[in-house]
Structure 1
């Protein structure tokens, strides 16, 4: 009886192994024990694209794909029919070299590569089965392959609407080339700026606008507003953003910034705000360059003159949030706190006391005065107009 029991147990174990093997067989068939060169050779010989799952052993979304998506029947059917499939740990063997060559920055990254090693398409992060199939269909379509379309975009071969569609995806993928490609396109004299597609590229994806184009936008403000369905406030906000980009480009001198050039450029386009914006940049620039003492001094000066400059309390809070760690240890941080407490809000900031309280809460928190930080957190919580994102942070301060 004991022997029969052992035999049954052994048969049961074998059955489990067979079931597991069967389940694996129904998933994507990944090539094993193949070098990178051999994988490319296979892809070229079979006239297929190489699908590469670039993963690591510690990556949770990678494991989700491997267990729940690559094993899906429809996924396996499509990928086994259309691709040479490989899954490579980016931290072992040839993995680190492949990761460097293709600029892997997150896991999982899913690549589609031709037999010559040319990158055609890419996606970052885990996908569900229908999404992975849709991704595969994009990868085999030259009109949808990300890098094939990117090459056309860089060569100026796309329409403005097609370029905008590519740019939207490029931003999602954090493609560092998108701004230059769009800027080169819109600055081509052949492209009409008084069309919605081109203006969308200009404002949503492009970089700084040259002086002559800034003047052109101002001259045609009414038509731009109509095309983009903007109010005066919308136009002014977008125009200001472009003016600051142009000022920054002109004022940048290597690793330094010429504040006189910055201000003079802004004076040309947003004269009423040029002084304020330049002063704000001086504060931010000091902190960026780790000149915290100078940054605090500039910040105190800015708040001191803020009402006359029309400084919004939101901007005060933003500077504090971005630089609190550098502000807190400085000797004059207490003087800055006093200035923020005494700051008279401009008319547009009526009812926005929560921004002042948030700035003070953050500063006291970084100065390790948790009791006072909690007092300001309570004020934020008690303010019915305080935005949810501020009250959520206040909750965390209160609850330690």
Structure 2
């Protein structure tokens, strides 16, 4: 089936409390929160969230209620939540924080959600975390707020005061990446790459920074990798130079054409890139991105044909999840029997790679059902249900099974 989505509901209050998890302050204004932090000699942790943000909901409903997360944050911080958007359902307490929320966004440069701000006992901003995470990882990120060497805002001040200091620039580059401060990240990465000899850049110590900085076509970092592919491959454990560069070039070219509302001709694009970058082979990257492009443009016969080409040439490297996602995209959006039959083959291949996986069985059952193979679809869905342990997911699968038995549509 489609990727598992957690159905989470955001409680419409500004300040949220749990029995075992993180205890967020309720009924205090910002001045009172600062006073309480000073009195208890604690730092202040502020969750800047919006009602529409999925990761915000995940943190509130899955991470913050955990006992170990509560134990850490309740002992170390005075915790508060600030809703950064405005809705018709806001209660009076949320409304009372509207002005403060606007100030936080402006004064503390809150541009992505969730953003977590950490203040010291005197109310000075010392650290920020952008984006959620699992419990242990998030606790580790929050611990950095207590060390001046890892506090984001403290490090930023040091960097601005001495931007050519290689050690500070290196730390700043990683910290800025974690904090989603792209401007500072690019500046720090540039200083590091300019300061080091080429041979030193192609080491395990700097390879992640090089990759991060190379995400702009024809940048210094991009050209360093392009001109030193063998050195890069000798050190990189995550990706080969040609794969990284070709994917970046193909994606950048297609996005540029889409933005300019120009036609996308993959053969022409590959030819153009081969002339400009003769040391980079873009064939695989082009085949890999074509099905996603055709899905985006709702050209499902194009998706079918391009994905079949990709499977024919690189099938051994395709994951069961990729096969399942493409099959589900066809099922949800296309009633062409030829496309649905192709999706059924992809679905079967996903089950060959990962046998008896409920999610993949559900996809196969739905495709069979849309193809008119009702009895086989029902048996496949019943098998998927029998393998499930999660009650919420089982309820969803059972609902689909009932639609199949009644002859109702299982797609929108």
**Matched residue of 2:199: which SS?**
coil
Aligned to 1:14: none
1:324 is aligned to 2:308: no
1:210 is aligned to 2:211: no
Which residue, out of 195, 199, 203, partners 1:194?
199
Aligned to 1:298: 302
Give the whole-Å Cα distance in 2 for the aligned partners of 1:154 and 1:64. 39
Aligned to 2:119: 112
RMSD over aligned CA atoms reads: 5.8
In the superposition, relative to structure 1, how do residues 176 and 224 fare at CA in structure 2: closer, same or farther (>3 Å)?
closer
Aligned to 1:372: 377
**Matched residue of 2:353: which SS?**
helix
Judge conservation of contact 1:263–1:275 (CA < 8 Å) in 2: yes
Aligned to 2:245: 242
Aligned to 2:405: none
Gap runs ≥5 in structure 1: 1-27, 80-84, 344-348, 383-390
Q: Number of paired residues?
A: 325
Give the whole-Å Cα distance in 1 for the aligned partners of 2:79 and 2:226. 54
Larger Rg: 1
Aligned to 1:157: 163
Q: How far is 1:160 from its partner?
A: 6.0
**Matched residue of 1:122: which SS?**
strand
**Matched residue of 1:331: which SS?**
coil
Gap runs ≥5 in structure 2: 1-22, 50-56, 84-92, 399-412
**Matched residue of 2:94: which SS?**
coil
Aligned to 2:146: 137
Aligned to 2:282: 274
Judge conservation of contact 2:47–2:80 (CA < 8 Å) in 1: yes
Judge conservation of contact 1:49–1:113 (CA < 8 Å) in 2: yes
Scaled by the length of structure 1, the TM-score of the pair is 0.55
1:148 is aligned to 2:154: yes
Give the whole-Å Cα distance in 1 for the aligned partners of 2:262 and 2:153. 35
In the superposition, relative to structure 1, how do residues 241 and 220 fare at CA in structure 2: closer, same or farther (>3 Å)?
closer
Give the whole-Å Cα distance in 2 for the aligned partners of 1:337 and 1:93. 50
Judge conservation of contact 2:295–2:329 (CA < 8 Å) in 1: no
Q: How far is 1:323 from its partner?
A: 6.9
Residues 217-263 of structure 1, C-alpha deviations (whole Å, 9 max, x = no match): 3543443344x266xxx76x343122321333344142647645742
Q: Which has the higher contact order (CA 8 A, sep 6+)?
A: 2
Residues 173-192 of structure 1, C-alpha deviations (whole Å, 9 max, x = no match): 55565764566446x64543
Residues 297-325 of structure 1, C-alpha deviations (whole Å, 9 max, x = no match): 11222245446654557168616515724
Give the whole-Å Cα distance in 2 for the aligned partners of 1:114 and 1:256. 52
Scaled by the length of structure 2, the TM-score of the pair is 0.54
Q: How far is 1:70 from its partner?
A: 6.3
Aligned to 1:17: none
In the superposition, relative to structure 1, how do residues 118 and 398 fare at CA in structure 2: closer, same or farther (>3 Å)?
closer
Aligned to 1:223: 231
**Matched residue of 1:92: which SS?**
helix
In the superposition, relative to structure 1, how do residues 356 and 147 fare at CA in structure 2: closer, same or farther (>3 Å)?
same
Residues 261-292 of structure 1, C-alpha deviations (whole Å, 9 max, x = no match): 7424653558895344324423212323xx32
Give the whole-Å Cα distance in 2 for the aligned partners of 1:308 and 1:180. 39
